[in-house]
Amino acid sequence: MDTGATFDPAPPTRYHPLMKQDPTQALRDTGVRVTRQREALLKVLTEASDHPDAAELHRRARTLDDSLSLATVYRTLSVLEREGVVLRLALENGGARYEVADAPHHDHIVDLDTGQITEFRSEKIEQLQREIAAELGYEIIHHRMELYCRKKT
Does any domain span residue 125?
A: yes
Domain co-membership, 71 together with 121: no
pTM of the model: 0.72
Q: What is the pLDDT of residue 82?
A: 87
Does any domain span residue 146?
A: yes
**Domain count for the chain:** 2
Residue 19 has pLDDT above 90, yes or no: no
Amino acid at 54: A
Q: Are 123 and 112 in contact (CB under 8 A)?
A: no
Does any domain span residue 149?
A: yes
Does any domain span residue 1?
A: no
Does any domain span residue 7?
A: no
Q: Are 16 and 102 in contact (CB under 8 A)?
A: yes
Residue 13 has pLDDT above 50, yes or no: no
Q: What is the pLDDT of residue 1?
A: 44
pLDDT band at 142 (very low <50, low <70, confident <90, very high): confident
Does any domain span residue 111?
A: yes
Q: pLDDT tens digits, residue range 69-100?
A: 999 999 999 988 888 888 898 888 677 999 88
pLDDT band at 103 (very low <50, low <70, confident <90, very high): low
CATH number at residue 144: 3.30.1490.190
Does any domain span residue 40?
A: yes
Q: pLDDT tens digits, residue range 38-67?
A: 889 988 998 888 899 999 999 999 999 999
Sequence-distant (6+) residues with CB within 8 A of 67 are 37
Q: What is the pLDDT of residue 83?
A: 83
Q: What is the pLDDT of residue 30?
A: 76
In the three-class reduction of DSSP (H, G, I as helix; E, B as strand; rest coil), residue 5 is classed as strand
Residue 8 has pLDDT above 50, yes or no: no
pLDDT band at 4 (very low <50, low <70, confident <90, very high): low
Phi and psi angles of residue 41, each rounded to the nearest 5 degrees, phi first:
-65, -40
Q: Containing domain of residue 50, as a range?
A: 14-103
